Amino acid sequence: MEDIFLDLKHIKKKYGSFTALEDINLQIKRGELVCLLGPSGCGKTTLLRIIAGLEKPTSGEVYINGVNATSFPPSRRNFGIVFQSYALFPNMTVRQNIAFGLRNKHLSKTDLNKKIMDILEQVNLTSQVDKYPMQLSGGQQQRSALARALVVSPDFLLLDEPLSALDAKVREKVRKEIRSLQQKLGITTIMVTHDQEEALTMADTIVVMNNACIMQQGAPVEVYDNPSSSFVADFIGSINFFKGSLSKNANITMDKQLEEKLLSAGPSGLKACRPEDIEIVEERSLNSFNVKIHTIEFHGYGYRLWLSLMEDEMALNNEYLSFDISAEEFFKRRLTVGDTISIRFKKGKLHYFEEECCS
């Protein structure tokens, strides 16, 4: 049996007539890092605050380590928390900020200092111990806040958009540090984010939320490769949506199995394919169709081509089809704007949805 640390049962939260959370059921295993991912206003921060005891659910129950903690105040839940703003005291040094969380532990001066230096060593900040927050970089401030949250030896850690105030390069570095420290300590961690890259690179489990509900939960690769809805597919990564059926075009020789799938989705259903799941093939190849290169974008790792359809084969939700190609293949083929190429979807990489895209 899996070791479930946090168990949320039928959590609902209403503010007057507004529903912030609707029947949330979620189990989090001990030691895993879970990302609550979704757009602004979807309910993820409200859910984090209910886990912390900073908000009370309108209905439902919160179990922490097998104990019904729904009525427990924050002080009885033994968690550490890092806010988006870090909430460091500007008039205190790093040492004093971290010591503040230990003020009720009744430690000797020697033990207090050892505990502070031990946690600062964990976050690589021992050289900054006597500096004030304004003297630290954004990444150092974030690590100071993390140290203050961890120094009290919490049972679990809550992170509310912890990297959003950092620039891209620092954010990438710090997220690796957080993930490495979380794995080293083995601490159960719940992180709120709207950044899909953070969720994909850091999480053991992603919980995708929208409109007060959980849309899908699973390992990053599972959610990315097998989205349960058009919303999830569109929110995580880039994807092309289209309607109609390529099988209607007389110039295409189509595999019977693919043709049946395209037709079975029905006139109201959506099909979708990610840019990396398209390939260039010889003209008239099985399941291929012709497109014209409209725009070329350099993305560092390779190129993204924006393609227009040669014929009215399908209705795109976006004006053009996006296609990712490696730099090596791009230069090998000497592709330019205006070229006509034949492409097809890679086998097993076409997704089918019965509802409209939620973006």
Spell out the residues 6+ positions from residue 80 whose beta carbon is closer than 8 angstroms to its own.
148, 149, 150, 152, 154, 156, 157, 158
pLDDT digits (tens, 9 = 90+) for 74-97: 999 999 999 888 889 999 999 999
Question: What pLDDT does 251 receive?
Answer: 45
81 and 59 inside one domain: yes
More confident: 316 or 227 = 227
132 and 83 inside one domain: yes
Is the predicted pLDDT of residue 285 greater than 90, yes or no?
A: no
DSSP run (H or E) holding 56: none
226 and 269 inside one domain: no
Question: What pLDDT does 245 receive?
Answer: 59
- The rounded percent of the chain whose pLDDT value lies above 90 is 71
Question: What pLDDT does 314 receive?
Answer: 55
Q: What are phi and psi of 40, to 5 degrees?
A: -60, 135
Number of domains the chain is built from = 2
Is the predicted pLDDT of residue 148 greater than 90, yes or no?
A: yes
DSSP-derived letter for residue 248 is G
190 and 42 inside one domain: yes
248 and 275 inside one domain: yes
pLDDT digits (tens, 9 = 90+) for 288-310: 888 999 999 999 989 999 998 86
Look at the alpha carbons of 205, 88, 98, 177 in this order and tell me if their dihedral is positive or negative: positive
Q: What is the CATH number of the domain that holds 330?
A: 2.40.50.100
Query: Measured between alpha carbons, how far apart are the two ends of the chain, in Å?
Result: 38
Q: What is the CATH number of the domain that holds 38?
A: 3.40.50.300
Domain contains 156: yes
100 and 184 inside one domain: yes
Question: What pLDDT does 259 receive?
Answer: 52
Please state at what angle helix 138-150 crosses helix 168-185, rounded to 10 degrees.
Answer: 20
Question: What pLDDT does 267 receive?
Answer: 47
> Max Cα separation, the chain?
83
Band (266; pLDDT cuts 50, 70, 90): very low
Domain contains 128: yes
**Which structural domain range is residue 158 located in?**
4-235
202 and 93 inside one domain: yes
Domain boundary among 189, 206, 235: 235
Domain contains 358: no
Q: Which amino acid, residue 294? A: H
Domain contains 149: yes
Domain contains 257: yes
Instruction: Determine the average pLDDT of the residues in 217-243.
Output: 93
Is the predicted pLDDT of residue 108 greater than 60, yes or no?
A: yes
> Are the C-beta atoms of residues 331 and 298 closer than 8 Å to each other?
no
> Are the C-beta atoms of residues 185 and 78 closer than 8 Å to each other?
no
275 and 183 inside one domain: no
Question: What pLDDT does 286 receive?
Answer: 85
199 and 261 inside one domain: no
pLDDT digits (tens, 9 = 90+) for 160-184: 998 888 888 889 999 999 999 999 9
pLDDT digits (tens, 9 = 90+) for 21-46: 999 999 999 999 999 999 999 999 99
Question: What pLDDT does 280 receive?
Answer: 95
pLDDT digits (tens, 9 = 90+) for 112-126: 999 999 999 999 999
Question: What pLDDT does 358 receive?
Answer: 42
Domain boundary among 203, 235, 267: 235
176 and 35 inside one domain: yes
134 and 227 inside one domain: yes
| Across 2-16, 53-67, 224-238, 263-277, least confident range | 263-277
Domain contains 359: no
How long, in residues, is the chain?
359
Question: What pLDDT does 104 receive?
Answer: 79
Across the chain, what does the average pLDDT equal? Answer: 88
Domain boundary among 235, 254, 286: 235
Is the predicted pLDDT of residue 282 greater than 70, yes or no?
A: yes
9 and 112 inside one domain: yes
